[in-house]
Structure 1
Amino acid sequence: MGEGQPIDPASMLATHFPRDLTDTVMSGESATVVLDIAGHGHWTVSIDSGVAELRSADGPRKPTCTIRTDADTLADVLIGRRSGVDAFLDGDLVTRGSLATVLQIGGAFAPDVELSTRPQSREVDAGGVRTAYLEAGRADAPPVVLLHGLGATNASMLPVLADLAEDHRVIAPDTPGFGASEAPCWTYTAHQLYSWLRAFLDAVDARGAVVVGNSLGGRLALELAMHDPEAVAKLVLLCPSPAFRRFRQLVPLVKLLPVDVARLPAAPVPRPVVMAGVKAMFADPSRVPQSWFDAAVDEFEIAMSSGAHRRAALSALFNIYTEEAFGDTGFWGRLPNLRTPALFLWGSEDRLVPASFARHVSEAMPTAESVVIPNCGHVPQLELPALTMQLVREFLSSGRTPNAQASTEYDLALG
C-alpha cells in the first residue's frame, strides 16, 4: 500500500486473515466481530478454535461485538501503527456489544510491533480464581496496577492505562465477579478481595507496584496497603468508597438479605434506566462521547445477564454498606495506621462518594494528599482525564511524601 494511496479494505483485510490466535486468550473462545467500515460496508470476522477468519459481508443478527471505524484507522490498528485503545479514546473507533472482546482481540494484531499503549489481554490463576487482565507498556518498566469500581470493568481505566503505559508496566485486572474474570460464590468483603489482590500481584510479579483504584477499586487498594504495606509503593485513590460513617441504621437488616436471590432469572433493567444511572456518575455527561456511554451500558448488560455476576455485584454492594466502620477492626479505626504515600482525588459533584469524605480522610491521614476536583463526578479518569492524569503524574514523579499544605495549594489552584 503506497504512501498517499487510498486504502482498499478488502485487500487489507485479506492480508490479515485468517489469523492464528491460539497463543492468545481467544484460543478457546468463539466470537463474531462485525467491522463497519465507513464508506466500505460491513465485514465479519469469525473466531473459533483459535483461528480468526474473514467471512462474508453479511454478518450475524447478534454479533459478539461491532466495530465502527474508517479505513485509515483500521489500517493503523492492523499494522500496529496505532493501538485500538488510542483510537477508541480519540473517538475514531466506536464499539457496540462486548468491549471486552474488542480488547481481547486488539492485542493479537501486529504483536511484534513495539506499541506501548496497545494492551495485551491475558489470564492468570490468582488465589484459585481465573482472572482476566490487560497489560501494556514495557515489561521492565515500574509496575502500576489499576483497579476499577463496582459494576465496571478494567475498560473504565483505559485513559489511565493509555497514559501511564508510555513509561510504566500497566496491569489492569477485572476484579473477581466483574468483567471477564470468574465470579466465585464469595461474600466479596474487603478482606476477601484483598486476599485475591495479593495473590494476583504475586501471580503477575507486580509486588511493590503503584496501585491506582477508582471507587471500590480505591477501597481495595487501601485494604491492600493496610494489610501488606510492602506490596504497594504509592496509592492513587480516585473517589474511593470508604465505610459508611452515617445512615447505618439498616446494617443489621441488610446483613440478613439473601444475596443468592440475584441468581434467579429476572427481567433486565430497561436500557434507558441503566443509561441514566451511568450518566448520573458524571457532573457534566456532555464531556464524554455518547459512544463511551453506549459501550459502558453494553458491558453492564452483558455482565448482568449472568446470575453469578449479578450475585457478585449485589454482594459487593451490600458489603460497602455493612462494612464495620469504627473500632480497632473498623475501616476508620485502621486508616490512621496507613503509612503508604497516598493521593486522594475526589469529585466535588460526586453523588456516590461525597467529597465531604476528604475531611475525614485528612483527619485520619494528615500526611496524605487530598484534592477535590471542582465540577467533577465519580469517575474523574473518564470525565476529566487530562487534569486527572496531570495530578497523578505530578504525584508519581515527586520524591516527597505528600503533606496537607500541598493539598491546600492544589485545591486553591483547581478552584
Structure 2
Amino acid sequence: MSPTPQAPLGEELRIAVGDETVTARVLGAGRPIVLVHSLLADRTSFEPLATLLAATHRVFMLDLPGFGGSHPVTGGLEAVADRTADAIRGLRLEQSPILLGNGYGGFVALLTAIRHPAIAARLVLADCGAAFSEPGRQAFRNMSAAAAAKGLAAISGVAMRRLFAPAFQDAHPELIEQRRARFVAVHPETFHAACEALASLDLRAQARGVHLPALVLVGEQDEATPPEMARELAELLPQARFVLLPGCAHVPQLQAPQQFLAAIADFIGR
C-alpha cells in the first residue's frame, strides 16, 4: 500500500551556518536521526517514514542546499557535504545522530561521513552507491542537457520513471502527480550542479576508510541507482550490511514506509 502524503507534526527549523541558512523540519523525541533527501524527491519524500520514526526518534528532515529554504552552495558535492555537516553541528545535539540518506542524499551522507568522520554515529544509505557506471553518468548529462533546453517539466516523466517502477505509477497516479509537482519546483541551477557532480563522482577509494556501522539498502526495481551499485558500496564499506527491498524502486521510504522501517529498525535502535 502506498502512503498518503501528509505534512507530519513538528516544527520548522532555520539553522544558521555562517551567513547562510539550512532549513529542516523536526518531530518526535529520542535518539536523533537526520534524513537527507534525493535529487528527484525533496524532503517531503520522507514524511510518511518520519511520522513513523517519530515514535522512537528525534527526526530531522533537512533541506539540502538549494531546496526548500536552504541557501544554495557552490563548490560541488564536497561543499554540499560540508554544509550538511555544519547544519548537523548547528543542531547542537547531545549525541551523534544516525545519518540516513536516499539517492542523491545517500551520496551526500556518504561524502559527509568521509569528510567529517565524527559527524554521525551510524549511516543508513538507501539507493545510492560509490560511483556510477558510464551509462549512469551519461544519464545525468542527458537529463541536465534536456532540462537546460526545455525546462524541468520536459523531463518530469523521466524523473518519475527513475523514482518509481511503471506498475507503481499506474496504480498511484495521484501520488505521481504530487511528486512531479515537487520535482518541477526544484531550482534549475541546483539540479544542473547536482547532475554534474553525480556524473563525475567516484568515492570508491574513500569509502574503504569509513569505519562507521552502515546499512546499505536498495529497491530491487531501482533503475536510477541499480542494486549492483549498492552491493558494491556495501562491499567497500568495512562495517556494512546489505539489504534488498523487494518490490521497491528508488524512494522505498516513500513507496513502502512500513517495509522500509522494518528493514532499518534493528539497525537504528530506539
Output the TM-score relative to the length of structure 2.
0.85
Counterpart of 1:228 (choices 95, 112, 116) is 116
Which residue of 2 is the match for residue 310 of structure 1? 188
Give the equivalent residue in structure 1 for 2:178. 295
Q: Does 1:382 align with 2:254?
A: yes
For 2:12 and 2:50, locate their aligned partners in 1 and report how far apart those are by CA, in whole Å. 13
Cα separation, partners in 2 of 1:198 and 1:277, compared to 1, 3 Å: closer
- Equivalent residue of 2:121, what SS? strand
- Say if 1:197 and 1:375 are closer, same or farther in 2 by CA, change over 3 A: same
Instruction: Quote the offset at 1:131 in angstroms.
Output: 1.7
The alpha-carbon deviation at position 177 of structure 1 amounts to: 1.2
Residue 81 (structure 2) pairs with residue 194 (structure 1): yes
CA distance in 2, matches of 1:375, 1:366: 28
Distance 2:170 2:254 in 1: 9
Q: Contact (CA 8 Å) 2:27, 2:58: kept in 1 or not?
A: yes
> How far apart in 2 are the matches of 1:198 and 1:340?
16
**Equivalent residues in 2 for 1:13-412 (5 A)?**
89-90=3-4, 103=7, 118-138=9-29, 141-184=30-73, 186-187=74-75, 189-206=76-93, 208-246=96-134, 268-270=151-153, 274-275=156-157, 277-283=159-165, 284-286=167-169, 289-303=172-186, 309-323=187-201, 325=202, 331-365=203-237, 367-397=239-269
Give a deviation string over 1:260-301, Cα, whole Å, max 9, x none: x95xxx754557x52453144223425874332222222222
Distance (Å, rounded) in 1 between the aligned partners of 2:123 and 2:69: 25
Deviations 1:338-359 (A, max 9, x none): 1111000012221111101233
TM-score by length of 1: 0.57
The 3 A distance-change label for structure 1 pair 353 and 267 is closer
Q: Which has the higher helix share?
A: 2
Distance (Å, rounded) in 1 between the aligned partners of 2:223 and 2:25: 29
Counterparts of 2:77 and 2:18, CA distance in 1: 15
Question: What runs of 5+ residues in structure 1 fail to find an aligned partner?
Answer: 1-87, 94-102, 104-116, 304-308, 326-330, 399-415
Aligned to 2:101, the other structure's residue is in SS state strand
Seen in structure 2, the aligned counterparts of structure 1 residues 374 and 343 have a Cα distance that, compared at 3 Å, is: same
Aligned pair count reads 262
Contact 2:130–2:207 (Cα < 8 Å) also in 1: no
Q: Which amino acid aligns with 1:220?
A: V
Q: Which has the higher contact order (CA 8 A, sep 6+)?
A: 2
Closer, same or farther in 2 for the Cα pair 1:373/1:336, shift >3 Å? same
**Root mean square deviation, CA, Å:** 2.9
Cα distance in 2 between the residues matched to 1:297 and 1:249: 23
Contact persistence 1:358–1:372 (CA under 8 A): no
The whole-number CA distance in structure 1 between the counterparts of 2:194 and 2:224 is: 15
% same residue: 24
Distance 1:275 1:249, change over 3 A: closer
Structure 2: how far apart are the matches of 1:214 and 1:358? 12
Whole-Å Cα distance in 1 between the matches of residues 188 and 195 of structure 2? 11
> Secondary structure of 1:363's partner?
helix
Which structure would you say has the larger Rg? 1
Q: Which residue identity is paired with 1:218?
A: G
SS of equivalent residue, structure 2 residue 176:
helix
